[in-house]
Amino acid sequence: MFTFYTPNTPYALVAVSEVLFALGTGSIFQNSIAALQAHSTPEESSTVISVRSVLRGIGGALGSGISTLIVATTLRADTPAQLAKYATSMFAHVPYAQLPLDQQHVLKEAFADAARKPFQVASFLMMICLCLTAYIDDQGLERPKELQHEEKPELEQGQPKAPDRRRSTIEAM
């Protein structure tokens, strides 16, 4: 949806698109937590969720950096040389009132194309990810079978059970 924006796109449509995008993103992140917890043992659950959070942060930082690079490169490439001084940043103040109508149109299109390009790249990558989901073998939402040490009664083993020398973190404190 973001890829179809033009300089004349109504702000209400942009706001509705952003809300839908946020709802979709929030829905995906919660489902990933449930899936990760379902495929890890209770002892590994906190580690798995922490690793997911770190990877999410790294992915967000990389995504922001790559998107910024795409915007800057596209803006420079789409802006004519005589108007390059106005396209130094996506947030540059352009004095449109001082420019002829044809230059205003060229600059607005350059800024709009630069704003669309990261979403076009992201859409392409999401299509690849969607196609790759066909190769996922879903095991359901059951936790993996934990290693169960079936303890035999002490009388059957012939000697008393040795005490467990492992201590939990809470006991160590």
Query: Other CB atoms closer than 10 Å to residue 72's CB: what's the count?
Result: 15
Query: For each of the chain's 173 residues, which pLDDT tens digit applies?
Result: 666 777 778 888 888 888 888 888 777 777 777 778 777 888 888 898 899 889 989 999 999 999 999 999 999 999 999 988 888 887 888 888 899 999 999 998 898 888 889 988 988 888 898 899 888 777 666 665 654 444 445 545 555 555 555 554 455 44
Q: What is the CA radius of gyration of the chain?
A: 27
Q: In total, how many domains does the chain have?
A: 1
Name the DSSP class of 28. Answer: H
Residue appearing with tokens 């490169």: 73
- Residue 122, in any domain of the structure: yes
* Angle, CA 31 vertex, CA 28 and CA 33 arms, to 5°: 115
- Residue 167, in any domain of the structure: no
Range of the domain at 117: 8-141
- Residue 169, in any domain of the structure: no
- Residue 20, in any domain of the structure: yes
**What would the two tokens of residue 126 be?**
């999401």
Q: Compute the distance between CA of residue 43 and CA of residue 27 in angstroms, rounded to an integer.
A: 26
- Residue 157, in any domain of the structure: no
